[in-house]
């Protein structure tokens, strides 16, 4: 089993739609959680951290369920500019960051 | 100027050649990492370093070596490049602490022919 698993997609959605991505992780001792965004052939950049109580940043909402070991990202009112690959990232033992393979989102007119 | 700079940005090399990828950062972070990215496999950790005297293997270190020349510099070497090392390589840095963000360089696209 991979340490961090994501549905690779692609998710093709119309502009204005709401889309949700899930991610599961295998190490119950994982300490912190993040969503990164990666545009084609570019470096990953932090989208948002994920806190136990859930957190929101504009159109983006992240949730963490430690009991079930999954993380979610909800994007409301999708924009064309949201088209990218979304990487679920977990920091575990040794302070290492482990990346999921990413979920590709395509927002269409 | 980018906070994390990788050189070269693109490189084509022949099988068996030695190649070094360099990374420098101006963030003042102690922690530096090398990842490779392959289609369908995501980013995988090659080596990481928490300070100048600390070097650790990641999940796919075979065929690679690293050198932490200074707090700001962390280089990755392929002693004898092979075609399956063709990939996109990223250097990253972070501060200490569990909730700190990692900052990535722009990547080096390496092709081994």
Q: Note the pLDDT tens digit of each residue in A37-65.
A: 999 989 999 999 998 888 999 999 999 99
**Which residues are bridge partners to B52 per DSSP?**
none
Decide: B47 and B59 in contact? Cβ < 8 Å. no
Decide: A54 and A42 in contact? Cβ < 8 Å. no
Decide: B17 and B80 in contact? Cβ < 8 Å. yes
- What is the rounded average pLDDT for all residues in chain B? 94
Decide if A101 and B41 are in contact by the 8 Å CB cutoff. yes
Which of A29, A99, A100, A103 to mutate against chain B (most B CBs within 10 Å)?
A: A99
Banded pLDDT at B103 (limits 50, 70, 90): very high
Mean pLDDT of B47-67: 95
* B24-53 pLDDT, tens digit each: 999 999 999 999 999 888 899 999 999 999
CA pair distance B90, B23, nearest whole angstrom: 9
- Residue A8: is its pLDDT beyond 90? no
Q: Residue B112 CA to chain centroid, in angstroms?
A: 16
Mean pLDDT of B60-83: 96
Listed residue (A76, A66, A75, A1) closest to A35, CA to CA: A75
CA pair distance B54, B91, nearest whole angstrom: 16
Decide: A109 and A80 in contact? Cβ < 8 Å. yes
Nearest to B42 among A34, A49, A101 (CB): A101
For residue B36 the two structure tokens come to: 């490779």
Quote the pLDDT of residue B1. Answer: 63
Mean pLDDT of A2-25: 94
Decide if B45 and A98 are in contact by the 8 Å CB cutoff. yes
Which of B3, B43, B108 to mutate against chain A (most A CBs within 10 Å)?
A: B43
CA pair distance B40, A72, nearest whole angstrom: 20
Decide if B42 and A95 are in contact by the 8 Å CB cutoff. no
Quote the pLDDT of residue A11. Answer: 95
Decide if A41 and B88 are in contact by the 8 Å CB cutoff. yes
């Amino acid at each position: 089993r991979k340490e961090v698993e994501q549905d690779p997609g692609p998710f093709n959605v119309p502009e204005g739609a709401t889309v949700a991505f899930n991610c599961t992780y295998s190490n119950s001792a994982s300490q912190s959680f993040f969503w990164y965004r990666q545009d084609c052939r570019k470096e990953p950049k932090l989208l948002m951290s994920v806190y136990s109580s859930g957190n929101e940043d504009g159109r983006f909402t992240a949730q963490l369920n430690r009991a079930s070991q999954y993380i979610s990202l909800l994007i409301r009112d999708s924009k064309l500019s949201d088209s990218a690959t979304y990487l679920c990232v977990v920091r575990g033992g040794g302070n290492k960051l482990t990346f999921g393979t990413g979920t590709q989102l395509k927002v269409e007119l | 100027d980018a906070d994390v700079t990788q050189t070269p940005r693109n490189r084509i090399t022949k099988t068996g050649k030695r190649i070094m990828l360099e990374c420098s950062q101006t963030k003042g972070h102690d922690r530096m990492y090398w990842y490779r990215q392959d289609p369908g496999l995501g980013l995988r950790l090659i080596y990481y370093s928490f300070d100048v005297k600390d070097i650790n293997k990641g999940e796919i270190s075979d065929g690679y070596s690293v050198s932490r020349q200074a707090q700001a510099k962390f280089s990755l070497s392929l002693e004898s490049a092979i075609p399956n090392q063709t990939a996109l390589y990223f250097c990253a840095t972070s501060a200490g602490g569990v909730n700190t963000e990692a900052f990535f360089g722009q990547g080096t696209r390496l092709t081994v022919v």
